[in-house]
Amino acid sequence: MPKILWFSPYSLHDTSSGASVHAKDMLESLAQNGFQVWSCASFIFDNKSGTTVFGNLEEKLQNDPHRTFILDDNGIHYIYTRCQHRNEMDFTLAEGQLLYETFLDVLDEFKPDIVFGYCPGMTSLSGFAEAQRRGIKTVYLLVNGNHSRFAFPQFDLVVTDSFATSKLYAERDHINVVPTGAFFKPERFVSPTHEPKYVTFINPVGAKGLPIFAKLAHVCQKELPDVRFLVVNSRGVFSETVSFLHEKDNPNSHPFKASDFPNVDMTGTQQDMRPVYRLTKALIAPSLWFESWGRVTSEAVLNRIPVLCSTSGGLAEAMAGCGVVLEAPQHCREDFFSLPTDEEIKPWVEGLKTILQTDYSEQFDRAAKLLSRERTTQRVLEAFLPLLVTRGTDHPLYYTK
C-alpha cells in the first residue's frame, strides 16, 4: 500500500481556505483508492472562521497541555502540533521547530513514499529537503499565481488544479506544473431543493470583485428592479467594505454607503452552503486577482446555478461553460477598490440578464461529468503513480538515523 504524508503548517480542516478543502478532498480520494495517508500540520488557518470544524478550538487548546494532538478523520491519520495563534504571520520560530521535529519523528515511524504539501516557508522547505535526502519523492500543491520567484527546488512534482495556472507558470516562469482538476463532494453543498430568489456574491472584499458587484447591484436598482442580491460575508462585511470603494482615478471620492443598497441582503459565514444555494438563481464571481480555480463557481454549477464571472485564472474552467465570462476593467485589477464606470459596468448588466434568461440544462449535464470526482481522481493517480516506481522505502538512507 503506497504511503503519502501531507506536510504543511496549514490545517487541512480549514473550511475558509479553498486550497485546504481541495487538498483534504484529494487526500481522502487517494485514501479511498488504496493509499495510506497521514498528515503532519499545525493549527494555521486562512481565516479564523475556518476553525469551526473543531468547535471552540481556543478553549480546547487551553484545556489540553499537550504539544501534539492525534485524530483520525475520514481515512486520514492527523498529527497536529500546538501553536498559539491561527495566523501564519504569528507562527513563531519555536512553533516551526516543534512542527519540524514532529515531522522527523513521523518520517521515522510512518516511512512515507511521497511527502506532499504546500507552503514556501523555511520550516516546510527544510522538511521537504530532508525527505529528499532520505530518498522520498516530494510533491507541491500549487493553487495560486503568487510563486513566480520560487523554483520548487525540493520537489519532484508540482501539481495544480487548473490548466490556467499550469499555463501561467509555463509561460511566465518556465516551470512544468501538472493540472489535475479540482475535487468536490456534492453531498456537502448541493441543495436537494431549490427556491431561486437571489443573485449571490460570496466574500465581499476587493480582490473578489467587490467594486464590480457593488456597481452592478446599484445599477440594477433601475435596470433590474425585481432582482434581489445576497452577499455572504465569509470574508469582509458588505455594509462596511462598500464604503471603501472609490471612483476611478479619484481615491478620495467614496460614493457608496450601506443604505444605498436596499436591494442587497446579507448573511454571515456559512458552515453549510446548501441553504444559500437553495435560494440562489445566479452567482456572480467577478474576481480581480488570479483565481487558480474558484470553488464557489463549480459549486454553483453543480447546483445547476448559472454563473457570471471574470476571466481571472481558472474561473472559466471552474464554471465549465455554464454562464458568461467577462474581462474586468484594467484599473479595477490594479486597484481592488476602484469602481467601474457607468460604461464599464454595462457588459456586466447585460451578462446578468443573459444568465437569468438562458436555459443551461445541457451545459449543466456536461459540467457534472467534467467536474466529477472520479475524473479528477484518475488524473491525480496518473500524476502520482510514476513517483512510486522507486519507493521511498527502497532507499538505504531512509533507515539511517
pLDDT tens across 210-232, in order? 999 999 999 999 999 999 999 99
C-alpha to C-alpha distance for 179 and 296, rounded to whole angstroms: 19
Does residue 361 sit in the same domain as residue 380?
Answer: no
Are 6 and 19 in contact, with CB atoms under 8 Å apart?
no
Q: How far apart are the C-alpha atoms of 150 and 249, rounded to whole Å? A: 34
What's the domain count of the chain?
2
pLDDT value at residue 14: 93
Handedness of CA 267, 268, 272, 277 (dihedral sign): positive
Q: Whole-angstrom Cα distance, residue 94 to residue 43?
A: 14
The answer to whether residues 105 and 217 belong to one domain is: no
Kindly give the parts of the chain with pLDDT less than 70.
390-401
Q: Are residues 168 and 231 in the same domain?
A: no
Residue 392: per-residue pLDDT: 52
How high is the pLDDT of residue 207?
95
One domain, residues 95 and 21: yes
User: Looking at the structure, do residues 19 and 73 belong to the same domain, yes or no?
Assistant: yes
Question: Is residue 352 within 8 Å of residue 308, measured between CB atoms?
Answer: yes
Q: Are residues 107 and 256 in the same domain?
A: no
If asked whether residues 355 and 391 sit together in one domain, one would say no
Give the number of C-alpha atoms closer than 13 A to the C-alpha of residue 204, restricted to the C-beta side.
28
Place of cell 485564472: 313
Same domain, 216 and 232: yes
The pLDDT assigned to 391 comes to 57
Residues 215, 341 contacting (CB under 8 angstroms):
no
Task: Indicate whether 83 and 201 sit together in one domain.
Answer: no
Cα separations (Å) of 373 from 74, 185, 188, 214?
16, 8, 13, 34
Is 387 within 8 Å of 157 (Cβ atoms)?
Answer: yes
d(CA 133, CA 70) in angstroms, rounded, equals 27
CATH number at residue 17: 3.40.50.2000
The Cα 86–Cα 79 span in angstroms is: 17
Same domain, 179 and 279: no
Q: What is the C-alpha to C-alpha distance for residues 49 and 256, in angstroms, rounded to an integer?
A: 27
Name the 3-class secondary structure at 137: strand
Rounded CA separation 325/191 (Å)? 25
Q: What is the pLDDT of residue 27?
A: 96
Does residue 381 share a domain with residue 297?
A: no
Q: Can you read off the three cell numbers belonging to residue 380?
A: 491525480
Whole-prediction pTM value?
0.85
Q: Tell which phi-psi region holds residue 338, choosing left (phi > 0), alpha (psi between -120 and 50) or beta.
A: beta
Domain that holds residue 354: 186-370
**Contact predicate 141/159, CB 8 Å:** yes
Sign of CA dihedral 345, 351, 354, 356: negative
Q: Are residues 10 and 72 in the same domain?
A: yes
Measured between alpha carbons, how far is 268 from 26 in angstroms, rounded to an integer? 28
Distance separating the N- and C-terminal Cα atoms of the chain = 24
Report the candidate in 81, 70, 88, 87 with the shortest Cα–Cα distance to residue 104: 81
